[in-house]
Amino acid sequence: MTKKYILIFILFTLLSIAAGFFYGQYNKTKDGFFCTANTSINSGEDSLSMTINFHMQDGVGYMTLKGIMNKSNSGISKTSLLKHFRYSENDGEFLLSQVPDGVLEVSEKDRVLLQEFIPDFYLTNNVPTHHVRIKELRKGLWIFTTAPVPYLVCAEY
């Protein structure tokens, strides 16, 4: 009778370990995300309507921006930006850092237009780091903030 209880105990223990392992794998947080945001930013009478894509995985990130700038004194113009960076994350606090030979595709005209709306980190390789909070609101939806006020909401693509 004791061998039977020992066998049941061992079987129950193995099943509990397997269940815990599979539950942990199921709820494991993914490192990184892919998302897009459509947003507009206003500064005085000027506005930037843009689509931003973030591709962040395993400490490497890319940000693309396609936008339409409406400047009150010079009319409407299209803008674009592609930025490569590294990141580290701790509980939703992201520290973005430059990649010395990373991709930065932005024309001088677009850099001048965007500097009013976009942090300098994305427009140059001279700013070493940029801090941003990124919190997952729900699966496939993140909110980006650089201050107490939300900056943009980004949805999985």
**Which amino acid is residue 133, in one-letter code?**
R
Is residue 139 scored above 80 in pLDDT? yes
Beta carbons of 52 and 63 less than 8 angstroms apart: yes
Q: Is the pLDDT of residue 149 over 70?
A: no
CB 80 within 8 A of CB 65: yes
Grouping H, G, I as helix, E, B as strand and the rest as coil, residue 109 is helix
- d(CA 155, CA 141) in angstroms, rounded, equals 4
Closest CA to 132 of 88, 101, 98, 102: 88
Higher pLDDT, 150 or 121: 121
| Residue in the structure block whose two tokens are 């490569």 | 84
E-assigned strand segments in the chain: 32-43, 46-57, 60-71, 75-90, 93-98, 104-105, 129-138, 141-145, 150-156
Q: Which residues 6+ apart lie within 8 Å of 21 measured at CB?
A: none
Supply the pLDDT for residue 25: 61
pLDDT tops 80 at residue 84 = yes
Percentage above 90 pLDDT, the chain:
38
- Let me know if 121 is exposed, middle or buried by CB neighbors in 10 A (0-12, 13-18, 19+): buried
Tokens of residue 147, six digits: 């201050």
**Structure-token pair, residue 146:** 């650089």
Q: Look at residue 157 in the predicted model and tell me its pLDDT.
A: 73
- At residue 45, the pLDDT reads 86
Residue 152 has pLDDT above 70, yes or no: yes
For 26-66, the pLDDT digits (tens) are 654 456 789 999 998 888 888 999 999 999 999 999 999 99
Comparison of pLDDT for 46 and 21, the residue scoring more: 46
pLDDT at 16: 83
Mean pLDDT confidence for 85-113 = 90
- State residue 7's pLDDT score: 82
Q: Are 32 and 56 in contact (CB under 8 A)?
A: yes
> pTM of whole model > 0.85?
no
